[in-house]
Chain A
């Protein structure tokens, strides 16, 4: 099983969310998760993208059997291009937080990033959410919703890039997958509803879904429970848990 929705580090608004790499590895092992694509929480707050990613790549290096680092970028940071060039080769993907950092994905400064991702076959991971902004007690945390239509256009404009949309709601995931783009993938951490996951799989979208927990914000057991659902056939469960990751990303 491969988790596409993991974070590591400190979350200043709630110490419950703090998660060090060693703890995270233990949690993955305990739950039968073989590897996780992990992003630094520090990059959400940091003004210096390079500094935060440097610390993060050093931090997770000893845990490379389990934790696969993902470069977290904020194109509004003055150091983002340097972070990109320094860590590109060691990263399993590039994660963007447009709603959190407040920019548009069609910003011309991102064009080269998309092109490089296409050339190097690295996925671009776009965070749709990691906490529920509607009800969060952390009033300092503001993020705008990303409209699925804008994401579909992005995927259409860059057909050579595999886009992974991280933690969409059920409605967002449905809209994204129904666009029928081969380069659109979603993680299942925020997919909820009785029958929802089976329904998406019955519509043929199982090959575009990736297992993700959104830990430490969500309980990892919550996503485990989704894929233990006996109404999903074994083949689909395996596609979501690791098959798609193997096939598409060589993980």
Chain B
């Protein structure tokens, strides 16, 4: 089974680059690429919103819920949460209550910011996963963008939380080392160009059991991101773990 654990909805402003697509196209294209499940979040209807308002978050998450309802066997949802919004808990519980399996935290607050702590505590109570964006940009991160060290801080503080650090931390060498000693922190290998060695490095530093396939589609391509795993110099069993088994094991308890 292949699970793509990092997919976003198309935004209105992406149509000049990707063409004008209905959201169901994400599902059809994933299927064409042999993907069995996709895990979807929306970062905004018009464009990706770093500090979404209460209404913007509601609309974004409602779009994901609509896609989940349309493809209930295929689409898992993650609720986009802005910890700065006063009603974050209400929105989180709405998303979980309607069947989402976790939340997506992007760049509205760093993972080490105390604002994030109650959100993660709620995820622990609700027994859902946290997909946390991360980057270690040589040219500097955005103001509230988490580094892998922020993610490690969060993972260390909450060992009961299941956290997926996105994009292998953005910098495989430093990013993966930051979470190496935290068994509750996984990483996805989504996004970026299909550089050789990313998956191999992740396996050598974390072991295959803590690596999860994700594409970051539609900004990235399913096929290209799949090639990062399928063409990597690792064993067949490890590829299988990364491509789907690890994620399904995360879900495969009595939570969902």
Contact = CB atoms under 8 A, between A and B. Distances in A.
A223 B14 CA distance: 22
The residue in B26, B167, B219 that gathers the most chain A C-beta atoms within 10 A of its C-beta is B219
Contacts of A14: 197
| Interface magnitude class on chain B | 35 or more
Contacts of B89: none
Contacts of B21: 194-195
B195 A217 contact: yes
Contacts of B227: 219, 221-222, 224-225
Interface in B206-241: 217-224, 226-228, 230-232
Contact of B194 (A174, A199, A219, A230): A219
A180 to B, nearest CB: 16
Contacts of B219: 192-193
A137 B173 contact: yes
B221 A174 contact: no
B171 A136 contact: yes
Contacts of A230: 32
B196 A226 contact: no
B29 interface: yes
The residue in B174, B200, B224 that gathers the most chain A C-beta atoms within 10 A of its C-beta is B224
B53 to A, nearest CB: 27
Given A135-B138, A136-B138, A195-B19, A228 B223 contact: yes
Nearest to A167: B193
B48 to A, nearest CB: 13
A217 B200 CA distance: 14
Contacts of A17: 196-197
B138 A131 contact: no
Interface of A: 14, 16-17, 131-137, 139, 170-171, 174, 190, 192-196, 198-199, 202, 214, 216-222, 224-226, 228-230
Given A199-B19, A224-B227, 17 more contacts: A17-B196, A132-B192, A133-B139, A134-B139, A135-B171, A192-B193, A192-B220, A193-B220, A194-B18, A194-B218, A195-B29, A198-B19, A221-B230, A225-B223, A225-B227, A226-B223, A226-B224
